Structure 1
Amino acid sequence: MSQLHLHLNGPLAELRLDNPAKMNAFTVAMLRQLEGHCDLIDNRPEVRAVLVTAEGPKAFCTGADIGAWGGLSPAEFSRHWVRDGHRIFDRLARLSKPTIAVLQGHAFGGGLELAAACDLRVMAPKATLALPEAGVGIVPGWSGTQRLARLIPEPVLKEMALFGRRIGAERAHALGFVAEVSETPREVAEEIAARLAKTSPRATEVAKYMIHAAVGEDRGAMVEALGSGMIAASDDRAEGVAAFLEKRKPEFPGT
């Protein structure tokens, strides 16, 4: 049974965590489902925005299910659990569509890393953020020390990762990590997403790539995506393809 659902409703897609019995903690199956859903979303041109939500009022996601990784050997843990999770969260971060995390409840560990992989975050007033990994003898492994270091100040990140301190919604908002704090975070997220109906889909996509290139979010891939988009629209590209198919030398117009 799926514990991470994809709902498509015209221009709005929703990725919904559905493991409330374990505070929406991630399992191996959920990681695989997230990866597949991201691939599908990127191939649906009608989708303009993606909400990342979760079942239950208490927790957005409390990280990774200890039952999923606690018995792994050191090699399995580092090579597969950590690297696969990191790659899949990167996949979410690099979606061509804008993403909004709806934090109706607490986001700890991998849950905070999931929220960080989204473009915007809307948070309920009583929700909190934490990196509790040191308390169970591990460290953040799905970008908690890397992507988060670009999104919140280093001293605050150290408070969380080294000392286990929780960050409340108002402080997260003051730091710029959260776009808005609201008793109805989903409604606010939907209102933000609805504004995309008045913008150019292509311009939004390219702007996201440009910002990611500037802040180092897979800079090489973003630069190549931008360059490839430019060349794909050129007469030179059309001539090169035509010449190859017609088995002749190309005559590039330079436009």
Structure 2
Amino acid sequence: MTYQQLLVELKNNILYITINRPNKLNALNKEVLTELAHAVDSAQTDREVRAILLTGAGEKAFVAGADISEFQSYNLEEGKQLAKDGHNQVFNAIEKSNKPVIAAINGFALGGGLELAMACHIRVASDNAKLGLPEVTLGLIPGYGGTQRLAQLVGKGLAFEMIFTADMISAEKAHQIGLVNHVVPQSDLLAKAEEILEKIKQRAPLALASAVRAINAGFDPKADGYQTEIDEFGNCFDTKDFKEGTTAFLEKRKASFTGQ
């Protein structure tokens, strides 16, 4: 696929996905979502990709929200389908990615932009970032998982307050409440994300994928998180990476994982 709204580059086994609509503050439209769905899905089976770094072009915004002009005239059924497609094809796909995904949040992460960041496994924010879910000011609520993931990350009370007031919060406040993992100067944003990814790249890929499934199962009311952990733990014993990891430990050397 030739991307029109994304910049996609594989470098040192990290897939860099940059939403490239800086003149629109990287707002999410149908084309962006379609391309994101394709890029994330393709990465799942690409053995060269060990992790994904997701960010927005320019210094003003990660993603400043959804492109309201595209759905302003939608009716009830169209609105439900919009949310359903976004959940299934993009946001849930990122959360369930078997390759770790880090969001590098530069500037505004509002509405669908914050929802996109929350779907990622780890969030690093620049110190000028502003985060919020302002949907109620439009007569809406977050529709791409925001009501669920925000409560999971910061707790029910703070999620109610952020969504009810529609207020933006600073990167430092987001860090204090557990919404982002790290806050760094904007000039250090990508370097911090890369520092974390360099560590992740050294770990066993299949074990990382198992960890994603086990952790996510704990937040899925239809799943048994503990049983998923047991199953995934057992599955790891049937991998070459397990044999390599344990052998390397006993031989007091660095493991060389192949994702097999």
Asked if 2 retains the 8 angstrom alpha-carbon contact of 1:49 and 1:99, the reply is yes
Asked if 1 retains the 8 angstrom alpha-carbon contact of 2:207 and 2:236, the reply is no
Find the counterpart in structure 2 of residue 203 from structure 1: 207
Find the counterpart in structure 2 of residue 212 from structure 1: 216
Give the 3 Å change call, closer, same or farther, for CA 220–83 of structure 1 in structure 2: farther
Asked if 2 retains the 8 angstrom alpha-carbon contact of 1:92 and 1:117, the reply is yes
Aligned letter for 2:205?
A: P
TM-superposed deviation, 1:153: 1.8
**1:168-224 superposed Cα distances (whole Å, 9 cap, x missing partner):** 111111112211100121110001101123211122221222111123287479949
TM-superposed deviation, 1:147: 1.7
Find the counterpart in structure 2 of residue 115 from structure 1: 117
Verify: 1:67 aligned to 2:69, yes or no: yes
Identity %: 35
User: SS of 1:181's equivalent?
Assistant: strand
RMSD over aligned CA atoms reads 2.5
TM-superposed deviation, 1:46: 2.2
User: Given the alignment, which residue of 45, 56, 62 partners 1:43?
Assistant: 45
Verify: 1:54 aligned to 2:56, yes or no: yes
Verify: 1:83 aligned to 2:87, yes or no: no
Task: Report 1:136-215 matches (<5 A).
Answer: 136-183=138-185, 184-215=188-219
How far apart, in 2, do the equivalents of 1:60 and 1:206 lie?
Answer: 29
Query: How many residue pairs are counted as aligned between the two chains?
Result: 233
How far apart, in 2, do the equivalents of 1:231 and 1:129 lie?
Answer: 37
**1:131-177 superposed Cα distances (whole Å, 9 cap, x missing partner):** 11111111110001012211112222112111112111111111122
User: SS of 1:215's equivalent?
Assistant: coil
TM-superposed deviation, 1:6: 2.3
TM-superposed deviation, 1:230: 3.3
Aligned letter for 2:105?
A: L
Find the counterpart in structure 2 of residue 130 from structure 1: 132
Asked if 1 retains the 8 angstrom alpha-carbon contact of 2:206 and 2:236, the reply is no
How far apart, in 2, do the equivalents of 1:214 and 1:198 lie?
Answer: 26
Structure 1 residues not aligned, in runs of 5+: 235-255
How far apart, in 2, do the equivalents of 1:68 and 1:220 lie?
Answer: 39
User: SS of 1:100's equivalent?
Assistant: strand
User: Given the alignment, which residue of 224, 230, 233 partners 2:235?
Assistant: 230
**Taking structure 1 as the reference length, what is the TM-score of the superposition?**
0.84
Aligned letter for 1:188?
A: K
How far apart, in 1, do the equivalents of 2:133 and 2:238 lie?
Answer: 45
User: SS of 1:121's equivalent?
Assistant: strand
Structure 2 residues not aligned, in runs of 5+: 240-260
Asked if 2 retains the 8 angstrom alpha-carbon contact of 1:212 and 1:218, the reply is no
TM-superposed deviation, 1:231: 10
